[in-house]
Structure 1
Amino acid sequence: MKMVKVAVVGAGVVGLSTAVCIAEALPFCCVTVMAERFSPDTTSDGAAGIVLPAQFPDIPLERQKQWFKNSFDHLLAIAQSQHSPEAGVMLSSGCQIFKEVPAEKKPFWSEFVIGFREMTDVELKRFPLHTFGQAFTTVKCECSSYLPWLQNRFSKAGGLIEQRIVSSLQDLSSSFDLIVNCSGLGAKSLVGDGEVYPVRGQVLKVDAPWLKHFIRDGDGKTYIYPGIHSVTIGGTRQEGDWRLEVDQGDTRGILERCCRLEPSLTKAKVLSEWVGLRPGRKNPRVEREVVQLQGRQLSVVHNYGHSGWGVTLAWGTALDALGLVRQCLHDLSLQAKL
Structure 2
Amino acid sequence: MKSVRVAVVGAGVVGFSTAVCIAEALPFCSVTLLAEKFSPDTTSDGAAGILFAAKFPDIPLEKQRRWFKDSFDHLLAIAQSQHSPEAGVMLSSGWQIFKEVPADKRPFWSESVIGFRFMTESELKRFPDHKFGQAFTTIKCECVNYLPWLETRFRKAGGQVEQRKVHSLQELSSSYDIIVNCSGLGSKTLVGDDTVYPVRGQVLKVEAPWLQHFIRDGDGKTYIYPGIHSVTVGGTRQEEDWRLHVDEGDTKSILARCSSLEPSLSKARVLSEWVGLRPGRRNPRVEKELVQLQGRSVPMVHNYGHGGWGVTLAWGTALDALGLVRQCLHEMPLQAKL
TM-score range, shorter chain: over 0.9
Q: Match of 1:184, as an amino acid?
A: G
The amino acid of 1:172's aligned partner reads L
Residue 3 of structure 1 and its aligned partner are, at CA, apart by: 1.4
Name the SS of the counterpart of 2:307 in structure 1. Answer: coil
Match runs of 1:138-287 below 5 Å: 138-287=138-287
Which letter does structure 2 place at the counterpart of 1:252? K
Unmatched 5+ residue regions in structure 2? none
TM-score by length of 1: 0.99
* Residue of structure 2 in register with 1:33 after alignment: 33
Number of the residue aligned with 2:289: 289
User: Counterpart of 2:302?
Assistant: 302
Q: Does 1:72 align with 2:66?
A: no
Structure 1 position 334, deviation (Å): 5.0
Q: Secondary structure at the match of 2:48?
A: coil
Q: 1:208-255: CA deviations, max 9, x gaps?
A: 000000000000000000000100000000000000000000000000
1:114 pairs with 2:117: no
Aligned to 1:320: 320
% same residue: 81
Corresponding residue SS for 1:242: coil
Residue 2 of structure 2 contacts residue 30 of structure 2 at CA under 8 Å; is this kept in 1? Answer: no
The alignment's C-alpha RMSD in Å is 1.0
Rounded to whole Å, the distance in 1 between the matches of 2:208 and 2:5 is 47
Between the aligned partners of 2:48 and 2:114, the Cα distance in structure 1 is: 20
- Give the SS at the match of 1:276: strand
Distance 1:2 1:33 in 2: 16
Q: How far, CA to CA, are the matches of 1:203 and 1:303 in structure 2?
A: 25
Work out the CA distance in 1 between the residues paired with 2:241 and 2:324: 33
Q: CA deviation at 1:336?
A: 5.2
Distance 2:332 2:65 in 1: 30
Deviation per residue, 1:126-151 (Å, 9 max, x gap): 00000000000000001000000000
- Alignment of 1:97 with 2:84, yes or no, is no
Aligned to 1:124: 124
Structure-2 residue corresponding to 1:83 = 83
Runs of 4+ in 1 over 4 A off after TM superposition: 333-337
Other structure's SS at 2:102 match: coil
Deviation at 1:319, TM superposition (A): 0.1
Q: Distance in 1 between matches of 2:77 and 2:293?
A: 41
Tell me how far apart the structure 2 counterparts of residues 202 and 16 of structure 1 sit (CA, whole Å).
23
For structure 1, list consecutive stretches of 5 or more residues without a partner in the other structure.
none
Q: What number of residue pairs does the alignment pair up? A: 337
Q: Distance in 2 between matches of 1:284 and 1:236?
A: 20
Describe the shift of the 1:205–1:290 C-alpha distance in structure 2 as closer, same or farther (beyond 3 A). same
